[in-house]
Amino acid sequence: MSQHDISLTVNGRAYRGTVPARLTLVDFLRDHLRLTGTHTGCEHGVCGACSILFDGKPMRSCLIFAVQADGATITTVEGLAPDPAGLSVLQDCFWETHALQCGFCTPGMLIAAQALLNRNRAPTDEEIRDAIGGNLCRCTGYKQIIDAIKLAASRLQGANAPVGQTNGATHG
């Protein structure tokens, strides 16, 4: 079994590690870096719960070996917010529309949606469904997720649009 030294950037921070060849990227993120926001639902590339941004593009981290990520720049759900205490516009919109229930698919769904909004600030419903079509959610029926992405798109389009909250958020 070969062991490999890798270095990569995750959520803006440089990491080094030594990994066996067979370790998947999602297991590296979760078990070695303890970034447990990225989830595993099927480990065979169907459910999308493990979605991450790999060099800016959304991909399945269960279908990439950690050793292959040597030198890569990765964003996980923990890296979406502008600061650790805050929320991105998209995350805030997920909260606003209650675009989740159990929260298990949510990190992957946020990654897929963020990738869409990064390249398309005015997506149609069909484009939204295409973007999240590879992310399975068993709780929501997708409706409030699509609503959240549309809301985020409209907020991102609006200059100086306030990121409003309907009530305070003192206890997470």
Partner 1 sequence: MKAAEFDYARPATVEEVCCLLDGATGDGKIIAGGQTLVPLLVMRLARPTLVIDINRIETLQGVDANDGGITIKAATRQADVLADTGVHQRLPLLTKGLRLVGHPQTRNRGTIGGSLANADPAAEICLVARTLDAEITVRSSKATRRIAMRDFCAGAMTTALEPEECLTDVRFPLWRDAGRIGTGFTEMSVRQSDFALVAAACQLVLDKDGVCRRIALGIGGAEASPVRAASAEKRLAGTRLEAGDIDKAMDELQAALSPLGDVHASADYRRRVAGALAARVIAEARDEAKAAA
Partner 2 sequence: MAQPMADQAFRYIAKKRRPKEDRRFIAGAGRFVADLALPGMVHVALVASPYPFARIRSIDTEMALALPGVVAVLTGAELAAGTDAVMSGVDAPKVKRWPLAHQFVRYPGEWVAAVVAESRAIAEDAAELVEVDYEPLTPVTDPEAAMLSDAPAVHPDHGSNVLFRKKWVWGSVEEDFAAADHKLSFRARWHRSSTVPIETFGVVAQWNPAQQLLDVWASIQMPKFADQLAKALRLPGNGVRVHFDVDVGGSYGVKRGLKHSILVGFLAKKLGMPVRLMEDRLENMRGGDAQGPDRIFDMQVAFSREGVIRSLKIRALDDCGAHAGRAPLQLGKPIGAICGPYRVNSVEYEAISVTTNKTPQEAVRGFGQSPTNFALETAVDRVAAALGMDRLAVRRANLIRAGEFPYTIPSGSTYDSGDFQTVLEKALTAADYPALIAKRDEARRAGKLAGIGIGCCLEPSGGNSAFEPLFNPKNETTTWMEAASIKIDGAGAVVVSINTPSSGQGHESLAATVVGEVLEREPETIRVVRADSLSALPSNSPVGSRMAIMLGGAAAGAAKKLKETVTAIGAHKLGIAVSDAEYRDGAVISRADPAKKVTWEQIAEIAHRKFHELPPGIEPGLQASHVLEVPTGGKLPTPDGRVQMYPCYAFEAHIVYAEIDRVTGQVSLGPYVLGHDCGVMINPEIVHGMTYGGVAHGIGAALYERFRYDESGQFLSGTFMDYLIPSAHEVPDVAIVDHCTPSPLTAFGQKGSGEAGYLGAPAAISCAVNDALAPLELKIAELPMTPGLLGDLIATGKKG
33 part of the interface to partner 2, by CB under 8 A: no
73 part of the interface to partner 1, by CB under 8 A: no
133, 138, 154, 165: residue in contact with partner 1 (rule CB under 8 A):
133
114 part of the interface to partner 2, by CB under 8 A: no
61 part of the interface to partner 2, by CB under 8 A: no
| SS3 per-residue string spanning the chain | CCEEEEEEEECCEEEEEEEECCCEHHHHHHHHCCCCCCCCCCCCCCCCCCEEEECCEEEEHHHCEHHHHCCCEEECHHHCCCCCCCCCHHHHHHHHHCCCCCCCCHHHHHHHHHHHHHHCCCCCHHHHHHHHCCCCCCCCCCHHHHHHHHHHHHHHHCCCCCCCCCCCCCCC
Q: Which is nearer to partner 1, 95 or 104 (CB)?
A: 104
- Alpha-carbon distance of 81 to 86, in angstroms, equals 6
132 part of the interface to partner 2, by CB under 8 A: yes
Taking the alpha carbons at both ends of the chain, their separation in whole angstroms is 43
3, 7, 18, 36: residue in contact with partner 2 (rule CB under 8 A):
36
17 part of the interface to partner 2, by CB under 8 A: no
* Least Cβ distance, residue 170 to partner 2 (angstroms): 6
Q: Which residue has the tokens 């270095």?
A: 7
- Give the length of the chain: 172
Rg (CA), the chain: 16
* Least Cβ distance, residue 94 to partner 2 (angstroms): 5
101 contact choice in partner 2, partner 1, none (CB below 5 to 8 Å, kind-dependent): partner 2
51 part of the interface to partner 1, by CB under 8 A: yes
143 contact choice in partner 1, partner 2, none (CB below 5 to 8 Å, kind-dependent): partner 2
Contacts with partner 2 by CB under 8 A lie at 20, 22-23, 30-31, 34-44, 46-47, 49, 76-78, 80-81, 87, 91-92, 94-98, 100-107, 110, 125, 128-130, 132-146, 165-172
